[in-house]
Amino acid sequence: MLTQTTPTPAPVTQRVPLVEMRNIQVSFGGVRAVGGVSIDLYAGEVVGLVGGNGAGKSTLMRTLSGARPPDSGQIVINGQPVTIGNPRDAKALGIETIYQTLALADNLDAPANVFLGREVTAATTLDDAAMESATRKVIGRLNPNFKNFKAPVLRLSGGQRQAVAIARAIHFNARVLIMDEPTAALGPAETAQVHTLIRQLKSEGIGIFLVSHDIHDVFDLSERISVMYHGKLVGTVNKNDVTTDEVLGMIILGKPPTKLTQQDLAELHG
């Protein structure tokens, strides 16, 4: 008699984070700026990183960008532990940072900024045609309406300048972007442009850490929100599971949503 066996179900494939930061610690002169923080980021995801001034969020991102190696802890990229000792290491791993200042050369045009420090040459001269062609292609992916390829970036709008800075990052195969206050000092129309750029990057599978003080930006763009308070991680929450008041309570009071009382929430608006 044949015995019937139940087939073993196929294992569920686990998604591997693009980035895992595990128990990161950073101190400056005996002051612990980041104390044992663990966060992660997946492909095609925006994680909002928020907290008050001095919360440690910028220092945490500096460890990922290579600007300040952690004192202890581990960084894992695509499932592999890595050492990021300087910005060159980060770039080689596909990690790029777009600072609030954008770090653009105002007197140069878009192609010159995209290839700044990594110029294309033909024989002994710059290959301007190749750089312009590549720039048109990469910016066209981000913003098909961008036309000012010959103008110094000083003359571009804030949203267009962001497009140039982002193009510079993704042309060199960035898979992870750290964006520092990308809509600071922008008007509503330019902010909308930047939101469109970020959604385009998500659709291409790029993971983004969004460092911002603008809670509305964070809720508009993020899937998850990680909140820091005095160098510690208060928690990481799914955007759809919390209110803006609960996230503000995490930022201002350092309490996870489950510990926030109605009185706490009322006092946020007191």
Question: Would you tell me how many other CB atoms lie within 10 Å of the CB of residue 117?
Answer: 6
What are residue 192's DSSP bridge partners? none
CA distances from 83 to 20, 22, 59, 63, 98 (A): 12, 13, 17, 10, 21
> Does residue 165 belong to any structural domain of this protein?
no
Which residues are CB-contacts of 184 (< 8 A; sequence separation ≥ 6)?
Answer: 100, 213, 214
| Structural domain harbouring 53 | 19-108+174-267
> Does residue 133 belong to any structural domain of this protein?
no
> Does residue 59 belong to any structural domain of this protein?
yes
* 4 has a pLDDT exceeding 70: no
What integer pLDDT is reported at residue 270 of this predicted model?
Answer: 65
CATH code of residue 181: 3.40.50.300
pLDDT averaged over the chain? 90
> Does residue 161 belong to any structural domain of this protein?
no
Q: What's the pTM?
A: 0.89
Q: Which of 91, 79, 92 is nearest to 19 (CA)?
A: 79
What integer pLDDT is reported at residue 85 of this predicted model?
Answer: 95
For range 106-116, the mean pLDDT: 94
> Does residue 11 belong to any structural domain of this protein?
no
pLDDT band at residue 103 using 50, 70 and 90 as cut-offs: confident
Question: Would you tell me how many other CB atoms lie within 10 Å of the CB of residue 3?
Answer: 4
> Does residue 242 belong to any structural domain of this protein?
yes
Proportion of the chain above pLDDT 90, given as a percent: 68
Domain count, the chain: 1
> Does residue 235 belong to any structural domain of this protein?
yes
> Does residue 211 belong to any structural domain of this protein?
yes
